[in-house]
Chains A and B, each alone.
Chain A
C-alpha cells in the first residue's frame, strides 16, 4: 500500500516533468518556428580573409515580437550582429546587442545595413556551399539558418539588384 503510493507519487513527479518537458519543447518550437530566415547568403570571399558576412531576410509570422540576441556557426570562431552606418561622410560599423523582429513583420539583413559579421572562418568557403548559422532568441529559442555561398555579382544577389 505504502509502496504503491510512493510509486504513484514518483509516477506523478516523472509524469509532470515529462509534461513540462514536452510543453517547453512545444513552446520553444513554436517561437522558433514563427521565425524564418529567407534568402540567406554569404558572399564568396577569397581565401585568407578573416572576416566574412551573411545577409538574409528574417520573417516573423508569429503574433509576438522576437528578439535575436546572438548567432553562432560551427564554421566560424564567432558571429557578431552589426550595422553599417554612413554619417557625416564617414562609414563605420557598429556592433549591436539585439535585433527585434516585430510580430508579423520582417527585417532585412542586407548590404550597407544590418548584417551578421562572420569572424574567423574554420574551413575554406566554396561557391554553392552552405554555412549553417544558429540564431539565438531572447527566450532561449534557436533558429537554424542555412546560408548559401554566392559570388557578389550573382544575378539575384548582386551588390546592386534593385533596378
Chain B
C-alpha cells in the first residue's frame, strides 16, 4: 500500500518534470539544419553606407532577420526580443561569441532613409543592411528566406510579406539553424548557447577550422 503510494508519487513527479520540460522546450522554436549551408555570395550596403557581403558574416556568429521599416508590429517585436536574447546570451557565453544582429531590409526604397534609426533604437550594435531588390533577394536566398512585395494600392501603399524566422549563421558563414517566433529570450538564448557550444566542440580537435 505504502509502496504503491510511493510509486504513484514517483510517477506523478516524473510526469510533472516531463510536462515542465515539454513546456520549457516548447517556448523555443528552433531548428538545427542537418548539414550547414554556406551562404552564397551577395553584396549589400550597411546602414552606415559601408559594403556588406557574405564575407562580412564570417569570423563571428550572426542572427539575420528579414523585415522592413514600415512594419510597425512584428519586426519591432522581433528586434526587441533579439535584443533581450543577446542580453541573456551574455550571461551564458563569452563576449566574443555574442552574435551580430543583422536586419536585412527587404523594401529598400522605403527602408533606406530611416534604416539606421529604425534598427539602432533596439541596440546600438544592431546593423541594418539593404541593396537593390535583386541584391536583397539574392541575400535572402542565401539565408533560405523570402520576401514578397505586394502591388501598390491607389495611394501607392503596398504590403510586404517576409519570412518570419531568424537565420543563425556560424563563424564560417554557414546557415546552421533557424529560430521562429515567439523568440522568448531565456529559452532562445539557451538554445543558441547550446548550439554554439556544440559546434565549437565539434570542430575543436584538429578540424583545421
Contact = CB atoms under 8 A, between A and B. Distances in A.
Contact of A45 (B113, B121, B163, B181): B121
A89 B165 contact: yes
Contacts of B69: 49
B117 A90 contact: no
A150 interface: no
A91 interface: yes
Contacts of B81: 159-160
B162 interface: yes
Interface residues of A, number: 29
Contacts of B148: 90
Interface in A40-83: 43-53, 82
A49 B118 contact: yes
Nearest to B120: A46
B184 A160 contact: yes
A30 interface: no
Please report whether the interface of chain B is mostly helix, strand, loop or mixed according to DSSP.
mixed
Given A91-B164, A112-B182, A46 B118 contact: yes
Nearest to A109: B73
Nearest to A115: B73
A1 interface: no
A158 B80 contact: yes
A4 interface: no
A159 B84 contact: yes
24 contacts: A43-B76, A47-B117, A48-B114, A49-B118, A52-B72, A53-B72, A53-B76, A84-B74, A86-B74, A90-B161, A90-B162, A90-B163, A91-B161, A91-B162, A111-B74, A112-B181, A115-B72, A115-B73, A117-B72, A152-B76, A152-B80, A153-B83, A160-B80, A160-B81
Interface of B: 69-74, 76-77, 80-81, 83-84, 113-114, 117-118, 121-122, 146, 148, 159, 161-165, 180-182, 184-185
Interface pairs A-B: 3 shortest CB-CB: A159-B80, A53-B72, A46-B117
